[in-house]
Amino acid sequence: MWVNEYSRSGVKKSTLRVRTNALSTIDPLLGDKKLLSINRDVYQQFIFTLADRYKLNTIHSLNSAAMMVFKHAKKSKLISELPYQDTFIPKKQLTVEEIEQQKEERNYFNHSEIKEFLDAVVAYGKPLDKERFFLMMFTGLRSGELCALKWADVDFAAQQIRVKKQFTRNPGDTMIMRSLLQNKWIN
């Protein structure tokens, strides 16, 4: 019932797929319980189980999907209270040894890597690749946002770019243009 309504709310297919996958993960943990029997303590135990099995981002995603379902149930007057209220996601306490053994992940280019990459773009890229990659690298634009830009989105006087649309890929490799939920300005 919730998925059907949620799918008609204008969310991207990829977002719907993420929520549907989340529900398939949640179902074995909560699906055998009657809706009215899921109180704060049951929900907190559910969160603890997630914390034992998944990383923090996954826990937040699963919790978010479950919260949406419970909000829908309350709005539909199937429950009177939201079981997730006053619950928390536990923080994993690492030992000193675990902290020292963790690899520090760097998911960005340092200055020399930026120079090497942009030099390669200039030397080996196709026409306009230099401008595209420079723009993405120094503004934080995503590729789908860049592809959806029009000249009307560029304000040279104010030195700003308005990002209001993006191209996204749907299952089956079709590309569609979508409006962003909120316009953003890049200076």
| Domains: count for the chain | 3
Residues 92, 112 share a domain: no
145 sits in which H/E element: helix 143-148
Confidence of residue 45 (pLDDT cuts 50, 70, 90): very high
The 10s digit of each residue's pLDDT in 85-108 is 999 999 888 788 888 888 777 788
The CATH code of the domain that includes 14 is: 1.10.150.130
Same-domain check for residues 97 and 9: yes
Is the domain of 85 the same as that of 33?
yes
The residues, ordered by sequence, that sit 6+ positions from 162 with a Cβ below 8 Å of its Cβ are 153, 154, 155, 183, 184, 185
The model's confidence at residue 78, banded by pLDDT at 50, 70 and 90, is very high
The answer on 77 and 41 residing in a single domain is yes
Residues 80 and 32 placed together within one structural domain of the fold: yes
The closest of 170, 166, 121 to 142, measured between CA atoms, is 166
Instruction: State whether 15 and 78 are in the same domain.
Output: yes
Separation between Cα atoms, residue 63 and residue 83, nearest integer Å: 12
Q: What confidence score (pLDDT) does residue 19 get?
A: 92
Residues 67 and 127 in one domain: no
DSSP H helix total and E strand total for the chain: 8, 3
132 with 158, same domain: the answer is: no
DSSP notation for 30-85: HTTS-GGG--HHHHHHHHHHHHHHS-HHHHHHHHHHHHHHHHHHHHTTS-SS-TTT
Could you tell me if 22 and 56 lie in one domain? yes
Task: State which residues form the domain around 160.
Answer: 142-187
Assess whether 9 and 93 both reside in one domain.
Answer: yes
Tell me the pLDDT tens digit for each residue of 100-155.
Answer: 888 777 788 889 999 999 999 999 999 999 899 999 988 889 988 998 999 999 99
Checking phi first, is residue 134 left (phi over 0); if not, alpha (psi -120 to 50) or beta? Answer: alpha
Structure tokens at 177: 């243009």
